Amino acid sequence: MRRVLYAVPVAVALVAAAAVPAHAATQKLFRPGKESYFAFVDKAVAAHAEPKAASRTVAQLKLRTPDKTDELVLVVARTEDKAGNGWLQVSLPVRPNGTKGWVPEEALSSLQPLDTWLKIDTTALTATLIKGGKAVFRARVGVGQPQWKTPKGDFYVRSKLTGYGSAGSMYGPVAFGTSATSDTLTDWPGGGYVGVHGTNEPGILPGRVSHGCVRLKNADILKLARLMPVGTPVTIR
């Protein structure tokens, strides 16, 4: 995945606002489908339970994902410590699902803005993309079989993979890697991460048909790929 960085005047304003006073109250930076942010990992770094280096380590962030793309994290809040150092609270692509941690701001790229939000309904078997507060995409999907259920919770799009060659690929023409991990397939290569991708078996959709990934018909995944950037928050219910 080629990294694309955007100038973010809004993020600059947030940083400036947070500078007074030092160790100010935590700013919430997460409004999925309206205004949220992600950041690339620029330095391999520990994520902490609290916004201070002496606190417990909850995860180690690396520069690359198992898919060999640039690692990124969804940013949910910002604060400063007593010395005036910025800290960002981020959603982490680790087990258990839902883990969050605090990372020194200087270890991440500038904040990248998003107005998208992917919602997966495992009961109705639908995927809906919200953009700017409005639904801009809907499709029927396949989700995990009962013994390999698609995990529920709040996640984000960690990578976008293309170049599978033909539409006959089991992943279809495009696959999105997410930060969600399977609750049952813990020994899968790469750690059992859940993807959102196309299929070479469109006739089985919609349904409970996968090992936990979310499958779309190829025409639908191609449309979604035009609308959804990496970093997008993902909610699975």
Active-site positions read: 197, 213
> Rounded CA gap, 50 and 226, in Å?
37
| Helices assigned H by DSSP within the chain | 9-18, 218-227
Alpha-carbon separation of residue 132 from 63, 90, 117, 196, 227 (angstroms): 30, 22, 9, 21, 12
